[in-house]
Amino acid sequence: MTTTNPTGTVTIRRATRDDAATVHQLVLEIAAHEGDLDHVHVSPERWSQLLERHEVVVLLAERDGVPLGYTSAVRRLHLWSGGDLLAVDDVFVRPGERSGGLGRRLLGSMAEYAAPEGLTVTWGVEPENVRAQAFYTGLGASLRAKVIAGWVPAAYGPVIAELDEVAR
Q: How confident is the model over 85-130, as pLDDT tens digits?
A: 999 999 999 998 998 899 999 999 999 999 999 999 999 888 888 9
In a domain, 159, yes or no: no
In a domain, 160, yes or no: no
User: What is residue 99's predicted lDDT score, i.e. its pLDDT?
Assistant: 87
| Beta-strand pair 83-93/8-14 | unpaired
In a domain, 55, yes or no: yes
Query: Do 19 and 51 form a contact (C-beta atoms < 8 A)?
Result: yes
Judged by DSSP in three states, 2 sits in strand
In a domain, 132, yes or no: no
The CATH number covering residue 25 comes to 3.40.630.30
User: What is residue 3's predicted lDDT score, i.e. its pLDDT?
Assistant: 46
Show the domain range for 96. 2-123
Domain count within the chain: 1
User: What is residue 7's predicted lDDT score, i.e. its pLDDT?
Assistant: 64
